[in-house]
């Protein structure tokens, strides 16, 4: 009989930043009157919630700021009265017009500070480690490209028509809706798809949510990439160019192309012993930015409910 899993208090938060006048960055700290401490905005996951979505929700609720999701930061761990707790953090860039802060039930003061001043003020050592991660300049703070593997389609053997027209099945549509629930946090500015029905359908709920059209990107189709990988890689390199502001291009492609693209960028996978090719599960997302040697590459295998979220 398998051992019972220890209950974990799961939380998520953000280290929010904006450019400073001296070419550096400023970050946000919040004061919580309940604990009389200065910390990064964070909070517990709701029932059935994804940690990434919880992080954005908590930042918006506690600070009133609008943010664009950036790269995955650290997971901090510590003990609380209820047991072991972990907090997953993401870097987030403040966007839009900043509104005056309004105190709420959890936060009574907000301060924008240079990183050194924030590290001096923050109460908890584990928050200082997250601030140190924000200070890194060896990889971008946010992606410029989200590379999505199409969601689950019906079986090829059960489909009578051309394979290019094989549609999503019911599980695939659920995955597509999950993508539409989560990916707007990255502030998409462009949606591109390999010329396959299942790829376009994977982005349709996201297109409806964002109001962006889905345009064809034939170079990153499986057959097209195999025939001319240099053309496909040239497109990827262009899409990886850093942006002046926040926002990402979302590209939906296929399992025969995505691992090859990642390998060409220098991404290797150590999650499974002996495995070299990076994974690209159906409905998964790679958040990419920068260049080989200074590459941001975050993999999101499943954007459904977090396994540690309350039931």
Q: What's the average model confidence in pLDDT over 203-215?
A: 98
Beta-bridged to residue 85, according to DSSP, are 9, 78
What is the Cα–Cα distance from 21 to 229, expressed in whole angstroms? 42
The model's pTM is: 0.93
User: What is the per-residue pLDDT across 139-172, written as a single tens digit (0 to 9) for each?
Assistant: 999 999 999 999 999 888 788 888 899 999 999 9
Convert the pLDDT of each residue in 48-62 to its tens digit. Answer: 999 999 999 999 999
Sign of CA dihedral 106, 108, 111, 117: negative
Can you give the residue ranges of every domain in the chain? Answer: 9-134, 145-300
For 90-102, write each residue's pLDDT tens digit: 999 999 888 899 9
Please state, as a whole number, how many other Cβ atoms lie within 10 Å of the Cβ of residue 261.
24
Between CA 60 and CA 131 the distance in angstroms is 19
Q: Among 3.40.50.300, 3.40.449.10, 3.90.79.10, 3.40.640.10, what is the CATH number of 9-134?
A: 3.90.79.10
**CA-based radius of gyration for the chain:** 20
As a whole number, mean pLDDT of residues 41-45 equals 97
CATH topology of domain 145-300: Rossmann fold (3.40.50)
DSSP H/E element including 190 = strand 188-193
- DSSP codes, 129-152: HHHHHHT--SS-SS-SEEEEE---
CA distance 147 to 288: 7
Q: How confident is the model at residue 5 (pLDDT cuts 50, 70, 90)?
A: low
Average pLDDT, integer, range 13-30: 94
The Cα–Cα gap between 17 and 27 comes to 4
Mean pLDDT of the region 225-229: 96
């Amino acid at each position: 009989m398998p051992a019972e899993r220890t209950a974990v208090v799961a939380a998520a938060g953000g280290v929010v930043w904006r450019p400073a006048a001296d070419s550096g960055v400023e970050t946000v700290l919040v004061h919580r009157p309940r604990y009389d401490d200065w910390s990064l905005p964070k909070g517990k996951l709701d029932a059935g919630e994804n940690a990434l979505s919880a992080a954005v929700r908590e930042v918006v609720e506690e600070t009133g700021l609008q943010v664009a999701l950036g790269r995955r930061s650290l997971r901090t761990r510590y003990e609380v009265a209820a047991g072991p707790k972990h907090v997953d953090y993401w870097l987030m860039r403040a966007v839009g017009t900043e509104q005056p802060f309004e105190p709420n039930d959890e936060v009574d003061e907000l301060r924008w500070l240079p990183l050194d001043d924030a590290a001096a003020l923050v109460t908890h050592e584990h928050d200082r480690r997250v601030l140190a991660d924000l200070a890194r300049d060896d990889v971008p703070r946010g992606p410029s490209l989200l590379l999505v593997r199409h969601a689950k389609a019906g079986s090829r053997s059960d489909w009578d028509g051309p394979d290019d027209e094989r549609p999503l099945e019911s599980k695939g549509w659920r995955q597509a809706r999950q993508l539409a629930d989560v990916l707007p946090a990255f502030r998409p500015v462009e949606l591109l798809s390999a010329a396959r029905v299942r790829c376009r359908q994977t982005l349709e709920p996201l297109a409806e949510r964002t109001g962006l059209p889905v345009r064809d990107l034939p170079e990153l189709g499986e057959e097209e990439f195999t025939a001319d990988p240099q053309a496909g890689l040239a497109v990827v390199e262009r899409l990886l160019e850093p942006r002046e502001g926040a926002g990402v291009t979302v590209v939906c492609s296929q399992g025969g192309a995505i691992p090859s693209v990642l390998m060409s960028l220098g991404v290797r996978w150590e999650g499974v012993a002996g495995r070299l090719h990076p994974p690209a599960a159906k409905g998964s997302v790679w958040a990419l930015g920068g260049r080989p040697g200074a590459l941001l590459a975050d993999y999101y295998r499943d954007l459904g409910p977090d396994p540690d979220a309350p039931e």
